[in-house]
Amino acid sequence: MGLRPVLLNRRTAGIASTSLALVLGVATVGLLPAATTTASPAAAAVTADEVCEDPTGTLARAKGGSAVKHDPNQLTLAQVHQREAEFADILQERAKRVGQRTLSAQAAAASVTIPVVVHVIRRDTTRAGGNIPDSMIQSQINVLNQSFSGATGGAATAFAFQLQSINRVTNSSWYPIRQGSSAERQMKTQLRQGNKATLNIYLGALSNNLLGWATFPQRSLNVMDGVVVLSESLPGGTATNYNQGDTGTHEVGHWLNLYHTFQGGCSGSGDQVSDTPAEASPASGCPTGRDTCSSSGLDPITNFMDYSYDGCMYQFTPGQATRMINAWNSYRAA
């Protein structure tokens, strides 16, 4: 399925089309070793949709093109089973309290505005040092609102996003942000704001060519909770093919409990969503007609939870929308 015209409209919409007022202000440690050199934003944005297993639940996204040895976005079958068993238990507990019919009605009628706190991690006050303008952040919030509302061609979800503040931090020891490092934990421990329902987004140059990573929701708030995104992947950034804001959409999908569309490959229950066709491996580029599994349906290369170029991604499915609101009510709702 090719690029839809409405997607092009979203990419150039900026902040004008968002219906939310923007109020501007100024679970988990991964397994990747801390880098020993400091890279520029451009250098940090150069290759790999690579991913490395992390038993603590951190998810990462990186650019396509290089060999992958270890994937922090992918969970093992045992890890998925453990998470899904917990999720099922929580849903069952809630159904007993309020009744299954009430539970389903609440999910169907849900409308959730998520407060967003953005932390810009920079080496200095130059753009090359990570100091991106407010306009790029505002455009990213617009992309989230368009993507999760279904305005780009996919299913409408229950979620909207409201920017609460932008926090700019100059700290060369946190720049680039290194996934799984003690510096990442220190950064989040000092900066994270709000409760489980508050989305904290950390922007900066990233180590290991990553585009971003996120944490799954947990029963209790973990200081590592949040989303990390390459700043130059925001709309108007320099990360070619990945600069229309969909890394942010992808990582927030993880934060709301979505797996990759290729989780589990062609066998088993995959990403735990019945209306996303099975996919053997991550898509790269925009491979229209790709079909890697014998089960029905072409690979969901236009789904936000695949690894396609931003220009090819435009949708969540109804099943993903349901999974996200059920997870919200189970883990993040007050």
- Confirm if 32 and 71 have CB atoms less than 8 A apart: no
DSSP annotation of 145 reads H
Question: Which of 188, 114, 143, 190 lies closest to 14 in space, CA to CA?
Answer: 143
Query: Which of the residues 184, 232, 251, 279 is marked catalytic?
Result: 251
Measured CA to CA in angstroms, residue 187 lies from 128, 140, 200, 207, 249 at distances of: 20, 22, 12, 15, 22
Question: Which of 267, 173, 213 lies closest to 32 in space, CA to CA?
Answer: 213
Question: Which of 39, 88, 32 lies closest to 56 in space, CA to CA?
Answer: 32
Helix spans in the chain (H)? 5-11, 77-98, 100-109, 134-149, 182-191, 246-255, 318-327
Instruction: For residues 184 and 115, give the distance between their C-alpha atoms in angstroms, rounded to a whole number.
Output: 22
Measured CA to CA in angstroms, residue 18 lies from 5, 15, 143, 271 at distances of: 18, 6, 9, 30
Instruction: For residues 247 and 229, give the distance between their C-alpha atoms in angstroms, rounded to a whole number.
Output: 7
Whether residue 176 is preceded by a cis peptide bond, meaning omega within 30 degrees of 0, is yes
Amino acid at 116: V
What is the length of the chain?
334
Burial of 258 (0-12, 13-18, 19+ CB in 10 A): buried
> Could you confirm whether 251 is annotated as catalytic?
yes
> Active-site residue numbers?
251
